[in-house]
Each structure stands twice: as C-alpha cells, then as structure tokens.
Chains A and B, each alone.
Chain A
Amino acid sequence: MGLTGVILAAAALMGGLPEDMFLGTSSLAGSARSAAMGQCSFMDASALGALANPALAAGSGPGISISASGGMILGVEKRTRTVYDSFGSSIGEAEDAFNRDADLYPGGLAISVSGIEGLPEGAAFAAGWRMPARFSYRYDRELRTEYYALLGEERLTIDGSLGEFCASAAFTPAGMFGFGLGAAWVSGTRETRWEQNWVDESGQDVLETTSSDLSGMTVRGSILLRPAPALTACLGAEHSMSLEWSGGVDGVLDLPPAVRAGISWLPGNPLRTLVVAEGYYRAMSGAEFAGGDMGLTDCWGASAGVENRMPGGPACRFGFRYDRSPLGRTLDSVAFTAGLGFRIEGWSLDVGGSFSPRSWEQTDVTGLPSFTPGDSLAVEETSTSIGISLARTLEL
C-alpha cells in the first residue's frame, strides 16, 4: 500500500473532514422547532426530543404524540492557497477547489404516550428512529500544470449515515420531579471512494474504496426538575456502550460519556416567550479506537434559543450555538438559527434552519489526515441547513 493508501486507510475511519472523523456530521435528529432554537435538542419537548432526553417523554402530552422530521443540508467549501508576489506580499487567493454538497435526509420519526388510561400514573413512553449523524462529503478538483493544462481529476466521496432505534421511559412521581431512562441500538454504514484519473494514459489511475459497518448500543438517563411552573431544568448523561466498526477498518470506538444540562423558561410576557438554553460536556480526551488514544481534547458546547408567538401570526424562533471542537480551537464553530412554527388544524408544522460559517487552515488541525499529501490549504466552509417537522398530539 502506497502513501496515499495509508492515508486513505486512516481516512476510512476519519474521512477528509474533521466532523467525518468519527461519528459524522450532526443532522437534524430533533424537531425543526429545536433546530430553530439554537439546536437545543436536549430540551426539545416533542416525541423526537424524548429519544435524546428520556425524562421529557411526557413533555408533548398528555395523549399520544407523533413527530417526524427531515431536512436538507447544503455544504459549501472553498479551498484556497494564498498568492504572493515576488516581495512575499499576498495579493489574493488561488482557488484550489470549490465543493458543494446538498443532501436530503430523514431526521426521525417518533411516538410518545403519556397521561392516557391504562398507563401507570406519571408514566410516559417514547419510541422511534432517528438519524443523529451522517457521513456526506464531496471533494472534486482538477489537477493542472503550472501552465494551466489539465493533467487529471481528483475526487473523494464519503457517504453513509448513522441511525438509531430508541426507546425511552419516564416517570414523574411528583409534578416537580421526574426521571427517565432510554436505550438506543445504533447502526450505520460509511463508504469512501477516492480516485485520481490522469489524462495521460501512461499515468496510473488510482481508485481506493472502503466500506464499513457500524453498530453499537447507547444508553441515556436524565432527570427533570420543575421548581416553578414556568421553569423546567434537565440534567442527563449519555454513554455509548461501544461502537464497533467492521469492513474497511475493524475496531471498537470507545467514546466517553457525555453530560448534558438544560433549562426551559417561560418569562411571562405578551409574546408568550419561551427561552431554552442547554450545554454539554464530553471528555473526548479519553476517546479510543481499537485501544489506541485518538488524541482528542475535551469538548463542550452551549446553545440558547427563543420562541415568540407573534400576535395573530406564527411562532417566531431564533437561537445561537457554540461548539468547542475536540480537534482544536480553530475548528470551534458558531451557528445562527431561526425558524417559524405554524399550527394548522391541530397539526404543528415547524420550519427551522441554521447557518454556520467556519474557516481554518488545514495545517492548524493536528492529526488531520489529508487525502492529498502535503495539502496545506486554507478552508472556508459554510453549512446551511433547513429542516421541517410535523407533529400532532392526540388527546385521548
């Protein structure tokens, strides 16, 4: 196996982009309502939210609640090299590659039951499927000589997704306190394809592919506190028992537990404002693959969102999110989110979107594998997502 083969073997696990290194890029696994409110999915009081935060299983009741979501993510990436004049002063940028990737994906489908006859007092259940992450990346560039003659093409594609079947149960013995437990069966695939095709037939074309299957279990637990009618707080933990990779690369990915906390608050005003805020922490420095340290650092994130019910109009939402990357400060990201919510004949139709720009130097990210040896380009990327979700609660 040549150098590119070695790199690609690493990339089979880690991909070409930081987020595709282990569990893929986060997708809209909660409702579009939470997506619009800073992507506060832990405090998402919907059937889908109950899959991530079991204690909220009764949040969308009483009755039977169903919720489904899906969306699209548009990723735009520009890779540039700075161009210098003979004095060493930069005069602009040479564009090395411009990649665009639009993906439609399902977010999830869930049902929750609470407060109906036959259920024990204070009990609630939720079950469903959701897609917490996806692998999707397209990189394409033309290789040219210094005189701009076409030499060949280079292309990398990464496809796949990670889905989980989840079940949650919650119990609220008193109005001010509740707790919940959940479990998820995680499965998915990840496929990579890297190729180089040369115009000169004497050149050796390259085609490397990998295909991996992923499977594992995740357990979740959370508690809910309601110290006042207008205030709800949740604290939870999530532990991936193990995530096994087989196929292209074999090994077990051990991720440390994640701790989450959040609040939702009704300040009480004519706009019937709802404020949610949450944060998480994961000691990623302990992450291992096949028994080896992955060289990551601890990471955390915080987000906040606001919902206003405009008089005579839709619910108007906006939010903000900050994520500290486990790979380096240069990959920290901020996101602006916004959305609208409508109620139509008992149905809740929500639309939410986010925008997150990021720029980083490939050389600033320690340990990031490159699919082009010596590639040290500046990367500017934007991720724009839009999601839609539909929910209904049947009060029995």
Chain B
Amino acid sequence: MPSSLLLALLAIAPAERLDLNTATLEQLRALEGITDMQADSLYSLVIETGGLENIYDASLAQGIGPAELGWLRANCRVSPRPEPSMSPAVLDVMERLAVEDGPGDAAVDEWENLLVRPMPVNSVRHWDLRLLDRVSLIDAAAVERRLNELGPVSSVTSLRGSEGLSYYGYRNLRDYVAVRELDLSSMEVFGGLRVVVDGGGGRTEGDGTLAGRLDDLRSAIVDMESGGRDYTGSPVDSSALYAQLQSSYDELASARSVTGSVQRLRIGVGDRFRGGVRLSRGRWSTAGHDLMGDLDPGGLGDTYDVAKVFGSLHDLGPVTQVVLGNYRLALGQGLMIDNTDELMNRTLYRPLGLHPDLTPTRQFALAGGACEVRTGPVVAYGFLSSASRDAILNPDGTPNMLVLSSWRTTAVADALTETTAGGYGYLDLGGILPYGTAVGAGVLDVSWSEPLVPDPGALDIPNDSEIWICREYSDMPEGDGLSVFSVSGQTVLGSVGIEGEAAFQDNEASAWLASARWQNDWFYLLGAARRYDIGYTNPYNRGFAEQARFDDTIFEKPYYLNDPTMADTQDWPTPKPEEGLYLESRFQVSRQIIFPRVYLDVWRSIPWGFENYRFQGEVEYRPVFPLRFRLKYKLQDKKKMQDLLSTHSVTHEVTLRTMVLPAGNDMFEVDLRAGIVELTPNPLYTDDRLMSGGYLGARWEHRFTPDFSMIGGTTLWTTDGMSQWEFEDTGIDFLDGNGTKFYVTLKQQISDLIQMRLRVLRKDTFYPRTGLYRPDPEDQYYAEGDPDNPVLDFGDHAASYGISCQLDLRW
C-alpha cells in the first residue's frame, strides 16, 4: 500500500470516531458502550468543564467505570479544547488593573485597551511609550533608537537587549506592545463593561468622613444657635448662613448610607474607534445636581453624580487622535496641564499624552474636543472644553473660589462654567540629536462665566479669637480667567534622561521643574528641583510636590470657618508654593539585598519660609527565594503655622514587612509599624508633646486554582494621637483610636471574559474616653436635640462594615 494512502487512512480514521467534546446529547445517547444515564452525565461533564482534556477525563463523569472508559477509548476521541481568547498573562495584568480606578490611574482604560490591541511595536515612538506605567524617558527613547538604528523587530523579546532599556522598563512595556501592523479597516469590536456596587469600605468614622463633616456642620449650627458667633460688621448675613448650614446638613444627612455604584462601558472598533460611557455615584454621595443639565433623562441627576462619555477616532492621516467628550490631558511635567483631581505626592510619573477619560474626576473633567497631530518631527495637541465647576460663593452670590468637594452640596455645585482652551507643540529632535530629545511650548487659557472674587470675609468667622492669615488663599485667582505659557525640553544622554518644564502665568508668577535620571538594570538615581511661586495658581498644575496648596492652613480647621464645608478647600490638588530638591534611588546590591526606594526631599514653604525635610529608606533582604524582609524608616522634620506661632514636628516611623511565598502560589505578608511624633509644646495644649501610633497587619492570599483565589487580612492598631494609614488590597484605610479589622476578598476569573471580585470587611474602633465626669453643668455631655438632658454614660466602640462587588465583562 502506498504510504500516502496509509497516511490518508490514518488521518481519516480518528475523524470517524465521535468527538466527545463536540458531540450532542443525542449522539452520546446513541453510543452502544454507555447507557443513557451515563451519556447524560458525560454530556454534563463536557458542558461544565468546557471540554475534556483527554479521553481519561471521561471517567470523572458519574457512572463511567473502567469498562465504559475502555469502550470510549476504543471508539471515541477528544479534540483539543479551544484556546482562551486572552492569554493568562494578559488576564493577570487586567486583574491587577481591575483594582485601580482612581484619578491617579486615569490611563487604566487605555492600558486595558492596549492589552487587547497592543501598540504596533515597530512603529512606536517614545511619545507612545510614555503613556505606560513606570516606563521612563530613557526606556522609551532606547526602544525608539533600537527600532530606528537596527530596524524592525520580529518579536517583542528582541527589544530586551536594546541599549539603554532597563529590565524594569522592558517588563512594564512588554504586555502593551506587539509585532503587528495597524489595521485601520478592521471592524473587530472589543470592549468591556464594569459594574461595581460599593457598600462601603468600612470607613465611616473620624475626620475626612461624611460623619465627621456632619459633625462639623452640627457644631457650627449649635454655635450659631447659642450666640457663639458675632457677625456685627461682617458682610455675611447670619440668618442666610444659618439657613445654608441647615440646608447643607440636611442634604449631607440624606447621603448617609447611600450605596455607591459604577457602570462603565468601553468599546473599541479595530484600531480606528474608541468609545465609552460612565455613570457613577460615590458611596455616601449627594445627588447629581443638575447632571447633564436640561438633557437629564429620567432623573439621572438624582441617581448619579458623575456622567461621562467620549468617542475617539485614531490615525486620520497626520491627526493621530481626535477625542470628543471627556478627555484627560497630561503634558510635560504637569505644570501647565494635568487634569486629574488628585495630587500625587513625591512622584514624577504621569501617564503622558491625550486619553479619553472615564475616571470619577468631576471638578477637573474636560468636556469638549481635543486632538493630537503628528507630522514629521512635530507632535502637537489642541484642546477646547466647556464644563461646569463648583465654587464657594460670597454672600452677594459671586463665586469666591473654586473648590473640590468630597461631598458636594447645592451651595457649591455647578456655580459657574469654565471654558478651557489651549495647545502644545513639541519639536522632536531625535535622529539629529539623541533619540528622546525634544523641545516644546504651549499655552493654556482658562476663563470662567463669572469672575472669581476671593474674599476672606466670606470664609472667616468674624470677631473670633483666631486671626485669619492664609497666604496661600490671598493669592488665589481672581477675575474671569487666567492664562499660562509653558516651555519644556527633554533629552537622553546615554543612560541619563533630563527633563524640565517652566510655566508662566499671566500674573507674572511662574513655576519650574527640572529632573534628571540615571539608570541601568540594577540602579537608578533621580534628582529633581522645583519651585512654584505663591502666585502660580493654575488649577491644572499637578507638578511634583510634597504638599497640597492648603495643607497646614486654616482650611484644615472647619471650626474656624463660617461654613465647615469650606474645609473641602484643603483637598485642592495643586502644589503648595514651595521650592525644593528631591533625590531618589533604587539599588539592587545583589540577589539578596535591594534598596527598593530611598529618597530625600528638602523643601522650603514659600509662604512662610519654613524649611523641611523628609527622608525615607527601604532595604529588602531575601535570604531565600520564598522569604523577604523589608525594613522601612521614615524621618520627617516639618514646620507649620499654628495660630500666630509656628510649630515644629519630627516624625520617626519604622515598618518591618515580612513576605513569605509558601507553596502553591500563596502569599503571606506581615506588617509591623511603629511611629512617634515629637511636637513643639503648644502653650494651649501642653500635654500633647508626644504622639505615637502603630499597627500590626497580616494578609494572606490563597490560590485555590489559577482562576480562583481568596485574600484574607487582619490588622490590629493602637494610636495615641498619631493616626495611621494602611494600604489594603483595594485602597488606603485610615486608622484612628485603637482597633481591629478583618477583610476577605474573593477573586474569580469566571471565564476569560468575566472577572468577579467580592469583598467584605468589618472594622471595630475603640476610642479611649477621658473626663467623663463633668460636674460643671456648663460643660456636660448631652444628647442630640436635648441639651437639658446630660448623658452620664456612652459607648466608645464603633463597628463599621463594607461589602462591595465588582464585575468585569470583556469581549
């Protein structure tokens, strides 16, 4: 028999056997070697498992014994199971991104899109790679140089040896690039839907919470009712203020226990189109306040407080991107524009460029149109936006200052309309000068529908003992707009990258930042110098900073403000006027010893001339692979203005983290932290010279299978005036008093298209009480609404719970 015929028969023979993975129930029931009941069981097994891996898996079906298995082996076959549409590595990255949904992570959507449709690596420029997390200018320029000098790569791993590309940078970009060509005619649809129900994170107590803000409001109301304020000679109408306080209290009280929700839909068509919608409402959030204006369909404004939408087109000739709707723009060092509502302390990283925006940001959301153009060596951006902004109002109804509210009330919501326009252009000198070299210039123009009239008289309680001194406020913008001109430059010299930006506001104030980074596979050294004038009030400035503009000011003290909700001003996310020098390094001494991050920041507060420094050093020791110890020490020496005198604080904090990787991909971590703050004795509070605090936390992640895992964590803490911040798996928690908490998170990759995260948390806080016995009737504790009824006993225990669920669907 000719061999070709034999091969043909061999090829045909298996095909004649019934494929158990694709057989219908009727086909299985027709098999002679098994009963109908066994066929039913086998059919269920195939459906439930997604298909048998091999013929022996059939024995897992109920009733299939050795005899039946033997018969199936002889008469049936099993075809390979279909490959998942996404690789496990990509799903791992998506799982990590799934917990990041904050303004600081505005590029998460973009990263997810890139995981599905990666950048064509052979046509990337360093501008594209700067979007990615932890990819430095040196890394990005190294890739561009490699491609220009040595030609296209046949696989992404070929980039690994690129001169100047650190392993760290390579690792952070490899998932987002691929060897492929742009396919602008492709109509392949992909996207994702995220649904989150946020029943809270168990964070209901203490400052910065809704309960705290209601307490502030109530205190102000009681103060006014008891005649504790004298508005003689003040522009403030005390009865109008009282009504506003009551209204704000009622409004915020109605937000108690409100469950948060997010619905976020993203869609992409090939390499050409992207679109998305976000509707969300924060936990304990007030209603939407005229969301979408006259177009508010079906009471959306009562249900959501953020509504965003965008559509974008890509690669239209020289126009590489056009976004209509909401967008995020981050350029240069963020001095001219970076429209997040979060100031990231001590970091120079930002996802550069133009991106669609579906983040929760509202006050700094840009809504309109923006485009990116690339032609030859020119990379340019243009943008135009018109959106409402919140502002504190003066007694005469004019806006006093813009405000970023944690809980918006109608007293500040949508007080004016802001029109934002501008452009920026870079001249890429790569090829003539070293790759990564560019100079840029641009302008930003911000105008408001009503002029801002900063007036401390509207904020400060008149005739009280506190004297209003807030230099950061005195220079806040006034009038109906401002404009900013910016120049920037960057270059890469070998393994050193240098970047800088200078911005000039139309009131002659300026800001500048320059940084240099030297890196290799084991080491980097980063240095940055900055200065922000007190008059540089550009609301979109997100330059590197140690402190936000209103840190350590009167806005941290709601009881000194006419309306305590004005204390929201302390969250205004522009840097404090300061100048300073920052040094940061990472150094891998050996496989066992690493200094993951060591930094020193020395800065001077310009309004007050205070000089401060902060040092943090971390060393990690890994004696064997599954065990790591990380020791962190923080030292901060800081001064702040307190009433008429400055106070001085010195903070020491030590954290020891132990990380163990037992078998089976489990992970176990224990954190032990202790801190102490030494304060200048205050004549008013002489007993508070030393504060201390610390916690012990443990976290264990167990992977039942690669697709299903559980994280359990617990923390015990004690504080004596020094509150603690702890990183959990999905956020940062504020720890006050003494207490315990535990949480459980279940994560499941239900299929390669669906992920589910479910979290439950309980937190118990105990507040030590002193001075319960108060014989003076003027100084007794009393119950709400019943000041004549002193309370002799009360609890010191607060229990709070959080349950949340997140579902991600992708296609």
Contact = CB atoms under 8 A, between A and B. Distances in A.
B292 interface: no
B781 A146 contact: no
Interface in A267-317: 267-275, 304, 306, 308, 310-311, 316
Contact of B750 (A273, A319, A364, A395): A273
Contacts of A310: 704
Interface in B393-434: none
B789 interface: yes
A358 B219 contact: no
Interface string A197-235: 000000000000000000000000000000001100000
Interface in B28-84: 37, 43, 45, 47-51
Contacts of B751: 267-269
Contacts of B801: 357, 382
A311 B804 CA distance: 28
Contacts of B794: 83, 91-95
Interface stretch (B100-108, B252-260, B545-553, B723-731): B252-260
A348 interface: no
A347 interface: no
B653 interface: no
Interface string B241-277: 0000000000001101111000000000000000000
A33 B219 CA distance: 49
A336 B803 CA distance: 7
B47 A230 contact: yes
A372 interface: no
Interface in A36-91: 80-91
Interface stretch (B314-322, B369-377, B459-467, B752-760): B752-760
A348 B683 CA distance: 71
A267 B47 CA distance: 8
B285 to A, nearest CB: 11
A364 B50 contact: no
Given A84-B781, A88-B222, A334-B803, A146 B789 contact: yes
A140 interface: no
A92 B767 contact: yes
A267 B85 CA distance: 13
A228 to B, nearest CB: 9
A268 B257 contact: no
Nearest to A338: B746
B503 to A, nearest CB: 42
A336 B792 contact: no
A355 B789 CA distance: 36
B223 A87 contact: yes
A272 B783 contact: no
B259 A322 contact: yes
A329 to B, nearest CB: 5
B791 interface: yes
A165 interface: no
A86 B45 CA distance: 70
A91 B790 CA distance: 13
Contact of B50 (A80, A267, A275, A360): A267
Which of A87, A306, A310, A334 gathers the greatest number of chain B CB atoms within 10 Å? A334
B803 A357 contact: yes
Nearest to A89: B219
B686 interface: no
Interface string A335-366: 11000000000000000000111111100100
A382 B798 CA distance: 14
Contacts of B215: 89-90
Q: Is the interface of A mostly helix, strand, loop or mixed?
A: strand
Given A91-B781, A269-B50, A330 B708 contact: no
A146 B783 CA distance: 11
B19 to A, nearest CB: 15
Contacts of B226: 88
Contact of B785 (A268, A274, A336, A376): A376
A95 B219 CA distance: 21
A380 B799 contact: yes
Nearest to A309: B48
Contacts of A10: none
A83 B781 contact: yes
B197 A334 contact: yes
A320 B805 contact: yes
Contacts of B782: 83-84
Contacts, number: 166
A380 B801 CA distance: 10
Contacts of B497: none
Contacts of A93: 794-795, 798
A318 interface: yes
Nearest to A395: B37
A91 B769 contact: yes
Given A148-B793, A330-B258, A269 B253 contact: no
A266 interface: yes
Given A83-B794, A86-B778, A266 B48 contact: yes
B257 A269 contact: no
A269 B81 CA distance: 10
A336 B798 CA distance: 21
A346 to B, nearest CB: 10
A83 B783 contact: yes
B3 interface: no
B779 interface: yes
Contact of B792 (A84, A148, A322, A360): A148
A93 B781 CA distance: 11
Contact of A271 (B222, B256, B707): B707
A81 B792 contact: no
B294 interface: no
B796 interface: yes
Given A92-B769, A95-B795, A358-B257, A322 B758 contact: no
Contacts of A382: 801
A84 B708 contact: no
A222 B257 CA distance: 35
B748 interface: yes
A395 B37 CA distance: 9
Given A93-B794, A332-B257, A81 B783 contact: yes
B492 interface: no
Contacts of B785: 376
Contacts of A332: 257-259
B784 A84 contact: yes
Nearest to A316: B704
Given A336-B758, A336-B760, A380-B799, A229 B807 contact: no
B257 A360 contact: yes
B760 to A, nearest CB: 4
A334 B259 contact: yes
A358 B800 CA distance: 9
A71 B114 CA distance: 49
B386 interface: no
A84 B225 CA distance: 15
Nearest to B780: A86
30 contacts: A84-B219, A85-B781, A87-B222, A90-B215, A90-B218, A91-B769, A146-B790, A266-B47, A267-B50, A268-B48, A269-B750, A272-B48, A304-B805, A304-B807, A306-B750, A308-B704, A319-B758, A320-B803, A322-B805, A329-B259, A330-B258, A334-B197, A334-B804, A355-B803, A356-B803, A359-B204, A359-B257, A361-B253, A361-B256, A395-B37
Interface of B: 25, 37, 43, 45, 47-51, 197, 199, 204, 215, 218-223, 226, 253-254, 256-259, 559, 704-705, 707-708, 746, 748, 750-751, 754, 756, 758, 760, 767, 769, 778-785, 789-796, 798-799, 801, 803-805, 807
Interface of A: 80-95, 146-148, 229-230, 266-275, 304, 306, 308, 310-311, 316, 318-320, 322, 329-332, 334-336, 355-361, 364, 376, 380, 382, 395
Give me the 6 closest cross-chain CB pairs, A-B, nearest first.
Answer: A268-B50, A88-B222, A357-B801, A334-B199, A267-B751, A320-B805
Given A88-B218, A91-B769, A334-B804, 8 more contacts: A81-B784, A84-B219, A88-B226, A229-B47, A268-B751, A269-B707, A304-B756, A320-B805
